[in-house]
Amino acid sequence: MAVATKTPLLTLHNISKRFGAVQALSGVDFEVYPGEVVGLVGDNGAGKSTLVKTIAGIHSPDSGEILFEGHPVTITGPRDAAQLGISTVYQDLALCDNLDVVANLYLGRELTEAEVLDEVRMERRAIEVLKGLQVKIRIVRNVVASLSGGQRQSVAVARSVMWNSKVVLLDEPTAALGVAQTKQVLDLIRRLRDQGLGVVVISHNLADVFEVCDRIVVLWLGRPGGSFDVRETSREKVVAAITGAEFGGPADAAPADDPTAAKGIAP
């Protein structure tokens, strides 16, 4: 991947965001290139969700700059983000359990023909979309409640990328999944990358992050904690950045029996 020769899809420069007394983000830089999977990691409260919500147009930054494909942009709401081709899959998935797969894919964007739902066209296109992403769902007229967790996550991802997305943000996409289902979702993430999308994955699971990501960006108490090429780093280095060991943070200060400190030396 000749990343250095391309323009990033998305660039955040020196982003800060405060909620009352809490400085959720301070001076954060972030970028994602086409055909790249970036893992966004950090302890609870590190600012991951705030960063994603800033990109998604839920929060506006207090200061800093956002560029899309090299051009400065202002993202003042989810609609702006969608128009740029930025889509987000939040942790709770936001699927309707009692509706079928086709209805979920088209929720709020139904195709109509003379003001009547065009079920045939939606179903045909739904099957194409799922096939294009190699998501195996045999019966698209089954309700989403009947699907496995991996299939549900895949439907949520398909729903978010089927409208010309260029950047997709996934918040903990494998958190609720078993081993086989996690593999399904990681495979899907690789396919999105292979189609040239920029994918941002928030995850607590470093095994998943190391398996699927090209680069790992660490946030530490809302501050930049480093960007690591997965081929050139180790779990230990990333864990040290997450716990702030490098900055004289909690891992340095922690006693030897502190479980947070132990993580840093675990194999």
Ligand X SMILES: Nc1ncnc2c1ncn2[C@@H]1O[C@H](COP(=O)(O)OP(=O)(O)O)[C@@H](O)[C@H]1O
**Rounded CA gap, 42 and 16, in Å?**
17
Judged by beta carbon, residue 43 or residue 214, the one nearer Mg ion is: 43
* Cα distances (Å, whole numbers) of residue 90 to 175, 188, 216: 12, 16, 19
Which one of residues 1, 6, 7, 45 is an interface residue with ligand X (CB under 6 A)?
A: 45
Judged by beta carbon, residue 51 or residue 105, the one nearer Mg ion is: 51
Judged by beta carbon, residue 5 or residue 44, the one nearer Mg ion is: 44
Beta bridge partners of 13: 65
Question: Which span (32-40, 41-49, 214-222, 233-241) binds Mg ion, by CB under 5 A?
Answer: 41-49
Judged by beta carbon, residue 20 or residue 70, the one nearer ligand X is: 20
- Which parts of 156-185 interact with ligand X (CB under 6 A)? none
- Which parts of 192-221 interact with Mg ion (CB under 5 A)? none
Question: Which span (47-55, 66-74, 107-115, 225-233) binds ligand X, by CB under 6 A?
Answer: 47-55
**Rounded CA gap, 241 and 165, in Å?**
31
Token pair 């009547």 is found at: 116
Contact 23, 63 (CB under 8 A): no
Which one of residues 42, 61, 173, 225 is an interface residue with ligand X (CB under 6 A)?
A: 42
Question: Which span (46-54, 67-75, 102-110, 192-200) binds ligand X, by CB under 6 A?
Answer: 46-54
List of residues 6+ apart from 55 with CB closer than 8 A: 10, 12, 66, 75, 81, 86, 88, 167, 169, 200
**Rounded CA gap, 192 and 198, in Å?**
8
Half-sphere exposure of 106 (CA within 13 A, CB side): 21
Which one of residues 46, 189, 217, 241 is an interface residue with ligand X (CB under 6 A)?
A: 46
Which one of residues 12, 32, 35, 49 is an interface residue with ligand X (CB under 6 A)?
A: 49
Question: Which span (42-50, 81-89, 131-139, 247-255) binds ligand X, by CB under 6 A?
Answer: 42-50
- Which parts of 7-36 interact with ligand X (CB under 6 A)? 19, 22, 24
Start-to-end CA distance of the chain, whole Å, equals 29
Beta bridge partners of 117: 112
Judged by beta carbon, residue 45 or residue 132, the one nearer ligand X is: 45
Question: Which span (39-47, 137-145, 240-248, 253-261) binds ligand X, by CB under 6 A?
Answer: 39-47
How many residues interact with ligand X (rule CB under 6 A)? 11
**Encoding tokens for residue 108?**
């709020």
Min separation Cβ 56 and ligand X, Å: 12
* Cα distances (Å, whole numbers) of residue 239 to 119, 158, 164, 212, 262: 49, 31, 35, 17, 10
- Cα angle 57, 40, 24; round to 5: 55
Pairing of strands 63-68, 71-72: antiparallel
- Which parts of 46-65 interact with Mg ion (CB under 5 A)? 48-49
Question: With CB cut-offs between 5 and 8 Å by kind, which of ligand X, Mg ion, none does residue 163 bind?
Answer: none
Chain residues that interact with ligand X, rule: CB under 6 A = 19, 22, 24, 42, 44-50
Chain residues that interact with Mg ion, rule: CB under 5 A = 48-49
